[in-house]
Amino acid sequence: MARKIRVLVGKPGLDGHDRGAKVIARAYRDAGMEVIYSGLHRTPEELARMAVDEDVDVVALSILSGAHSTLLPKVVQCLLREKGQSSLDVLVLAGGIIPEEDIPALKAAGVDEVFGPGTSTQEIVEYTKTHLKREVA
Amino acid sequence: MRETSPTRGAGISDQLLEGILRGSRPHLARAISLVEDGAGEAVRLLSHVYKRRRMASVVGVTGSPGVGKSTIVNGLVGEFRSLGRSVGVIAVDPTSPFSGGAILGDRVRLRTHTTDDMVYWRSLATRGHLGGLSRHTGDVIALMDAYGFDEIVVETVGAGQSEVDIMKYAETVVVVLAPNLGDDVQAIKAGILEIGDVFCLNKADLPGAERTRRDIEMMLNLREESGWRPPIVMTQAHTGEGLSELVNAVNSHREYLVSSGLLEQKARQSHLAILNEYLSLLTVEKVLESAQVDGSLERALKDLSSGNSDPLTCASELVKRHLT
Ligand SMILES: Nc1nc2c(ncn2[C@@H]2O[C@H](COP(=O)(O)OP(=O)(O)OP(=O)(O)O)[C@@H](O)[C@H]2O)c(=O)[nH]1
Ligand SMILES: [Mg+2]
């Protein structure tokens, strides 16, 4: 039996919009995954702690506040510290309103992929399934 | 605190055991996943973990959907922490029968102690298991106990009449209710009302609280007399009102269990529950497997669809054939 894939859908920062986060959470659930929803306004430290304690394979961050360039790299750093790893075994994804020109810096900081507002949930789920960093067997 | 995460492969169960005993969160987290997934490595791990149990106190929190269980658990964590106790939380939500996936939303209410090293919160899905918990909740409690938490708090799925497994694992069951469930109190009295050691009437800020309290009181009057009369504690979990009284009630119940000698009986009951879980898992697996191999499962299914037999007869024959 294949093990369950677990996903943390996280809302870093101050924006109070979680429609997008809830849509992607449902899409992951409908793909058979177990989704932990963080709730609004979480700090990078809180999100990293959740990801470790919940033993997730994926951290999917939804951010609309415009603070992605500071918050997302911090989440990655906190994850590395909490897990004591030099390279993460967790797939880190981001979505929301993130301008094209900010993406290279985010990727350099350890975010694995960034999805624009137009991306379909199927596309995100498919990407997730095919880019997991831990074995699913 | 820097921790090295467990790596997969040979010796994973030894690695995890060593990590758990040394207090590494990533190791505890990974171990819980293996146990929940029913992975082969879990067998060896658990065989060691059960010998390292320290006997944490286990509190169950159950009640209908949305009555405030998670908010109360968050409050209990705070109360236990202020007493200097470390806390492990297990929060269970239902798995979707359609996709096999789940949205585990109880963390949304965890607003304090979110990065406290003495608090560990884990969300579990039922994965089709009935009774209000996941199949391996007993094992997850054992893992958290071996890790060294003083208190383990278990939130069940939003429960009604039949989600009463929590009574097998928790020493103290807190049943949470909210006002104006008038008919609801009637409806659930046969189920979760009977397993409550402490009643928590949450949302006491809402109208109708006093009436609901009297309803519960009346229900309790109908219960068989025992040495323990379950107290009713009024709370407003979102403000923290009443939570220290709730912890006092839980502690009083615990003292009662110790002084009456019932604690030992509870432990036996919980061991029996876990044993039961594994016995049914192993026997069902064995019967289905060998019945598939020798074709008797297929024959039974044919007999059932042609109306030549009935399920009870088929099942008895399969058991006789494959378990003896
Ligand atoms: N008015 C009022 N609202 C409360 C109180 N306690 C919790 N709530 C609110 O009730 C709602 C549900 O609370 P939860 O703690 O998620 O309830 P739950 O029982 O864990 O829900 P499920 O796990 O989904 O069954 C939230 O909006 C809380 O803020 C209270 O004492 N008074
Ligand atoms: Mg809840």
Confirm if A88 and A39 have CB atoms less than 8 A apart: no
Q: What DSSP character marks residue A43?
A: -
- Report the distance separating Cα B155 and Cα B93, nearest Å: 9
Point out the ligand nearest to the CA of residue B157.
Answer: 1
Q: Which helix (H) or strand (E) holds B120?
A: strand B119-125
Contact across the interface for B29 and A85, Cβ inside 8 Å = no
- Report the distance separating Cα B123 and Cα A95, nearest Å: 24
**B118: contact with A, CB 8 A cutoff:** no
**B114: contact with A, CB 8 A cutoff:** yes
pTM of the model: 0.92
- Closest by CA to A2, choosing from B286, B274, B122, B33, is B33
Minimal Cα–Cα distance from B263 to chain A, Å? 30
Contact across the interface for A84 and B38, Cβ inside 8 Å = no
CATH 3.40.50.300: which residues of chain B?
A: 53-260
Q: What ipTM, to 2 d.p.?
A: 0.95
For residue B1, the model assigns a pLDDT of 40
Q: Say how many Å lie between the CA of residue B179 and the centre of ligand 1.
A: 12
B103 phi, psi to nearest 5 deg: -110, 115
Residue ranges of the domains in chain A?
Answer: 6-120
For residue B225, the model assigns a pLDDT of 80
For residue B53, the model assigns a pLDDT of 83
- Closest by CA to B74, choosing from B144, B173, B155, B178, is B155
B187 phi, psi to nearest 5 deg: -65, -35
For residue B20, the model assigns a pLDDT of 95
Contact across the interface for B101 and A50, Cβ inside 8 Å = no
- Report the distance separating Cα B48 and Cα B68, nearest Å: 36
Q: Which atom of ligand 1 is nearest to the CA of B67?
A: 19
B109 phi, psi to nearest 5 deg: -85, -10
Contact across the interface for B36 and A6, Cβ inside 8 Å = no
- Report the distance separating Cα A15 and Cα B253, nearest Å: 44
Q: Is B238 touching ligand 1 by the criterion CB < 6 Å?
A: yes
pLDDT tens digits for chain B (324 residues)? 444 677 766 688 999 999 999 999 999 999 999 999 988 889 899 999 999 888 899 999 999 899 999 999 999 999 999 999 999 999 999 999 999 999 998 899 988 999 999 999 999 999 988 889 999 999 999 999 999 999 999 999 987 767 788 988 999 999 999 997 655 566 555 677 788 999 999 999 999 999 889 988 988 888 888 889 999 999 999 999 999 999 999 999 999 999 999 999 888 888 898 898 889 888 998 999 999 999 999 999 999 999 999 999 999 999 999 987
Residue type (1 letter), B316 = S
CA atoms within 13 A on the CB side of B140: 31
A4 phi, psi to nearest 5 deg: -75, 140
**B37: contact with A, CB 8 A cutoff:** yes
Residue type (1 letter), B222 = L
For residue B273, the model assigns a pLDDT of 85
Q: Is B71 touching ligand 1 by the criterion CB < 6 Å?
A: yes
Q: Is B237 touching ligand 1 by the criterion CB < 6 Å?
A: yes
- Closest by CA to B120, choosing from B149, B82, B162, B78, is B149
- For ligand 1, atom 10, name the residue with the nearest CA: B68
The SS3 of residue B151 is strand
* Helix, strand, coil percentages in chain A from 3-state DSSP, rounded to 5: 40, 20, 40
Q: Which atom of ligand 1 is nearest to the CA of B206?
A: 1
For residue B187, the model assigns a pLDDT of 56
Q: What DSSP character marks residue B117?
A: T
- Report the distance separating Cα A32 and Cα A102, nearest Å: 32
Best probe of the A interface among B27, B35, B115, by most A CBs < 10 A, is: B115
Confirm if B163 and B47 have CB atoms less than 8 A apart: no
Decide: residue B32, CB within 10 A, 0-12 exposed, 13-18 middle, 19+ buried: buried
Q: What is the mean pLDDT of chain A?
A: 93
Superfamily of domain A6-120 in CATH is Cobalamin-binding domain (3.40.50.280)
CA atoms within 13 A on the CB side of B113: 25
**B107: contact with A, CB 8 A cutoff:** yes
A7 phi, psi to nearest 5 deg: -125, 135
Over residues A99-109, the pLDDT tens digits come to 999 999 999 99
Q: Report the CATH architecture of B53-260.
A: 3-Layer(aba) Sandwich (3.40)
Best probe of the A interface among B33, B103, B122, by most A CBs < 10 A, is: B103
- Closest by CA to B192, choosing from B235, B133, B275, is B133
Over residues A63-84, the pLDDT tens digits come to 988 888 899 999 999 999 999 8
Q: Say how many Å lie between the CA of residue A30 and the centre of ligand 2.
A: 21
Q: Which atom of ligand 1 is nearest to the CA of B71?
A: 15
Q: What DSSP character marks residue B97?
A: T
For residue B222, the model assigns a pLDDT of 82
**B8: contact with A, CB 8 A cutoff:** yes
Identify any residues that bridge with A10 across adjacent strands, giving them in sequence order.
A61
Confirm if B123 and B106 have CB atoms less than 8 A apart: yes
